[in-house]
Amino acid sequence: MRSLTFFFIVLLFLLTTGCWDSTAMERRALVMNIGFDVGEEKPLALVLDIHNAKQSDANTMVGPPGALGPAVIAPRTEGTTIDECLEEQRRNMPRRIDFGLASAVVITEDAAREGIFPYLSWIFFHPNVRNNSYVIVTSTDLQKLFTEEARVVEGTMGGALLVSQLMADRKTAALTRVNLWEAYRIQLDGTGSLMVPFVRSQEGRIYYEGSAVFDGDRMIGLLDPDESAFVNIIAEERMPYLFTFDFIPPEVKENGQEDEQVPAVEERQEVQEEQTAEEQVQEDSEEGSSPEKGHLAEGDREPKKEQKQSNGVEGRPEREGKMDVPDEEASRMTLRFYRVQRSYDIEKIGSQQYEANIHVHFTGMLSDANPPQVRYDRDDFDAMNEQAAQALEKKMQAVIEKIQKELKADVLHLGRYVRPIDIREWEAMDWFDVYPEVTINVSVTVRVLGATR
């Protein structure tokens, strides 16, 4: 009898092995994001963003808060290989690690500068990882990004907000997006450089600070959001895009006063005001001669006079009825581009010498902040087209010089168009040694269709 009791006790212990971990998770460990970092003691650190699927039930069930465990855990393990880190994860948390929901591969800046290719290659060939997961580089500690500093909403961990916000901010050209398959293809193809969104977390919010640029499999530099927008516009024709520039009206250019920042419609508006004043004087004279209206008391007109004075800028009667803005901002124009067309024209001019001509055509509307009585004519829009094109061309050329001369990274993927020109020469040369010497010319045209409010 005692031996039988002992046998049942041992059998009970064996059956319940693996269910004694302190974290009340279900049988599967649902990994929402995969994080890689440089280890403190070993070469690699793996941080998994694991979601508790039962936490959402705990928010609605009767019981103490957190009865079913935390909403998310982010264990950190170190090892010499990724598989060694996973084995350590399984020892600490005896659950079947499921990568099927992993929506992002998050790599710290230190790990990215050490080399991103081993992480991408392992993840791509892992049978459970989705090949459309996004690749992101961050300057924030991964455990803080996934748990402490990230906002927790309805049982989902903050790491999931990385991708949800990435998709929500789709309507902007400044936000770079690259999934796992595209990143892996760029690494193997060798016709361009990888550009990945660079994020940081602060007080539960995710901030996108531009793009991390790679030379091969190592991060070499950063592009700010404005520079990232121009690269995405040229490489992927990303829209929409808001562009603000200093506008000099055609009337000022004709008078040789380009240095003055005057609104394009100021002179015509003054003429309209003079005509309005003459009409007002004529109406006043008619009212004074009219027997019905000539008996109005003088005080009856005072409120209108005060109201008219309040519409102008104090101490500046010439600005009466116009925008109450500083002089240096009066000619700032903002264009909203909703369509872009880009074309590459690459020619071989010598042995391993190429010339690239990039033309970008923008179509958009003027985001007008002027009052309704202000109108623009065709000359104003023609001047906007010319000056906006010049400003855009200057900024794009500066960005191209930075990525070509300083970073030496082909984020525009010109190599895809160079390779078919002479495939034998392509196989014999190293494109990234030739790319900094390529002559790149940019031309921009703009078409403003009208004004919108």
Structural domain ending residue among the three candidates 223, 245, 280: 223
> Are residues 299 and 336 located together in one domain of the fold?
no
> Are residues 286 and 211 located together in one domain of the fold?
no
Return the pLDDT at 361: 97
Q: How many domains is the chain built from?
A: 3
> Are residues 295 and 401 located together in one domain of the fold?
no
Close Cβ partners of 174 (under 8 Å, ≥ 6 residues apart)? 208, 225, 226, 228, 229, 232
**Does 242 reside within a domain?**
no
> Are residues 346 and 216 located together in one domain of the fold?
no
The token pair at 332 is: 């700032």
Return the pLDDT at 329: 42
CA–CA gap between residue 116 and residue 123 (Å, rounded): 11
> Are residues 442 and 344 located together in one domain of the fold?
yes
Return the pLDDT at 170: 58
**Does 243 reside within a domain?**
no
Return the pLDDT at 114: 92
Adjacent-strand bridge partners of 400:
none
**Does 237 reside within a domain?**
no
Q: Which domain CATH number covers 350?
A: 3.30.300.210
> Are residues 49 and 113 located together in one domain of the fold?
yes
> Are residues 269 and 341 located together in one domain of the fold?
no
**Does 270 reside within a domain?**
yes
Which amino acid, 422? D
> Are residues 294 and 382 located together in one domain of the fold?
no
Give the pLDDT of the chain (453 residues) as one tens digit per residue: 777 787 777 777 666 655 544 444 457 788 888 999 999 999 999 999 887 655 544 444 445 555 556 667 788 999 999 999 988 888 887 778 888 888 889 999 999 999 988 888 888 888 888 888 889 999 999 988 887 654 544 334 445 556 666 666 556 788 888 888 999 899 888 899 999 999 888 776 778 889 999 998 899 999 999 999 999 999 999 888 999 998 888 876 666 554 444 444 444 455 455 555 555 555 555 545 444 444 444 444 444 444 444 444 444 444 444 344 344 444 788 899 999 999 999 999 999 999 999 999 999 998 865 655 567 788 888 999 999 999 999 999 999 999 999 999 999 999 999 999 999 999 999 999 999 999 999 999 999 988 876
CB atoms inside a 10 Å sphere around CB 365: 16
The interaxial angle of helices 117-125 and 180-189, nearest 10 deg, is 120
Structural domain ending residue among the three candidates 189, 223, 257: 223
> Are residues 177 and 62 located together in one domain of the fold?
yes
Structural domain ending residue among the three candidates 289, 315, 341: 315
Return the pLDDT at 166: 64
Return the pLDDT at 243: 92
Quick check: 345 and 359 in contact, CB under 8 A?
yes
**Does 3 reside within a domain?**
no
Adjacent-strand bridge partners of 447:
363
**Does 161 reside within a domain?**
yes
Return the pLDDT at 132: 84
> Are residues 137 and 49 located together in one domain of the fold?
yes
CA–CA gap between residue 116 and residue 103 (Å, rounded): 17
Domain enclosing residue 189, as ranges: 25-223
Return the pLDDT at 165: 62
**Does 303 reside within a domain?**
yes
**Does 18 reside within a domain?**
no
CB atoms inside a 10 Å sphere around CB 236: 15
> Are residues 298 and 346 located together in one domain of the fold?
no
> Are residues 212 and 288 located together in one domain of the fold?
no
Give the CA dihedral 257, 259, 260, 261, nearest 10 degrees: 130
Close Cβ partners of 411 (under 8 Å, ≥ 6 residues apart)? 192, 193, 194, 195, 213, 231, 235, 403
